[in-house]
Amino acid sequence: MPSYKLKYFESKGRAEMCRLLFAMAGQEYEDIRYSQETWAAEKNNTPFGQLPVLEIDGQQYGQSIAIINFLAREFGLHGQTNLEQLQVDQVMGIVQDIYTHLLKLFFEKDKAKQVAIHEENNKTHYPKYLGFFEAILKKNGGEFYVGQKISLADIAVFDTLDGKIDDSIVEGFPLVKTNREKVRKNEKIAQWLDKRPKTAH
């Protein structure tokens, strides 16, 4: 089996989806976390001067989406057919649309603008995208986004909803809420959620 090391900051961020995939697969790996101080010394040793980085048998690879997709394929969580893989990628595209709005809020420094962005996200953007998720779940039978078991699509939506979007918004989408709880209660995911380091983000 390959030797894996996942390198990221002391936060969930763009690495948490990878950690959830490792947990779901029951795959051992080294979870390396950098503070801002230790990252400064390590930055020039990474492929693109940014995190996350996945190291496989000593070889480093960058770009979060590439890493996530690789791990999902390696662990059989990216769909069983080309059509299922397309369906997974479709959900991932919506997740990235949500992140566009999340990051806009994250990088805005003006307090008044932060409030305006937050209100617009909650009123307009997030309900729209959760509506897309609800429709996909309904079309697929209500339990999972793709196929009849947990895939990257379910894990990605779970991670996106985890502390990033108000629960009051999720309440309006019962299938999305039920799917989130199904992922949360998966034995391997639950074990990771219970033991993972407590971080603000």
Could you tell me which residues are beta bridge partners of residue 55?
5, 60
Interatomic CA distance for residues 145 and 163, integer angstroms: 20
Q: Are residues 72 and 89 in the same domain?
A: no
CATH number at residue 60: 3.40.30.10
Identify the pLDDT of residue 137. Answer: 98
Is 106 a residue whose pLDDT tops 90?
Answer: no
The total number of structural domains that make up the chain: 2
**In-domain check, residue 39:** yes
105 falls in which pLDDT band (50, 70, 90)? confident
Identify the pLDDT of residue 201. Answer: 83
In 3D, which of 82, 46, 77 has the Cα closest to residue 64? 46
Average pLDDT over residues 145-154: 98
Residue where one domain finishes, among candidates 46, 76, 106: 76
DSSP secondary structure, 163-191, as one string: TTS-HHHHTT-HHHHHHHHHHHHSHHHHH
Host domain of residue 67: 4-76
Chain Cα centroid distance, residue 146? 16
Q: Are residues 71 and 100 in the same domain?
A: no
Identify the pLDDT of residue 2. Answer: 92
Average pLDDT over residues 117-134: 96
Interatomic CA distance for residues 145 and 161, integer angstroms: 15
Identify the pLDDT of residue 192. Answer: 98
In 3D, which of 20, 16, 14 has the Cα closest to residue 190? 20
Q: Are residues 93 and 177 in the same domain?
A: yes
The rounded mean pLDDT for the chain is 96
Q: Are residues 86 and 175 in the same domain?
A: yes
Hey, is 62 helix, strand or coil?
strand
In 3D, which of 149, 194, 178, 181 has the Cα closest to residue 25? 149
**In-domain check, residue 193:** no
Class of residue 167 by CB neighbours under 10 A (exposed 0-12, middle 13-18, buried 19+)? exposed
